[in-house]
Structure 1
């Protein structure tokens, strides 16, 4: 358990970043109906289960230009 305390200064910002990106991506996914690739369910699953990379993929590949 002592080792976990050593890594907390690194883990907490990463967790906050991951949650922020995931929430931003999910809000955008559920507010918009058109996507460049895929559909709403696919991007929701990718954003939730692929941590930081999923929301980044959505914002770069999936979000349509409206």
Structure 2
């Protein structure tokens, strides 16, 4: 189910957005978005994003 992560330029992602979203949702692929050859963001499966969010919230200090 998990595919190898790939890199795509933002221009390519714009042209193939539906395919990139489907690859993340259906196949578990992580796609790194690049600008001028540098990674700037990632399209990840929902489970990975939710796990990262939960870990971030757990690491936050309690508010006043």
Q: TM-score range by the shorter chain?
A: under 0.3
Where relative contact order (Cα < 8 A, 6+ residues apart) is larger, the structure is 1
**Which has the larger helix fraction?**
1
TM-score by length of 2: 0.28
TM-score by length of 1: 0.27
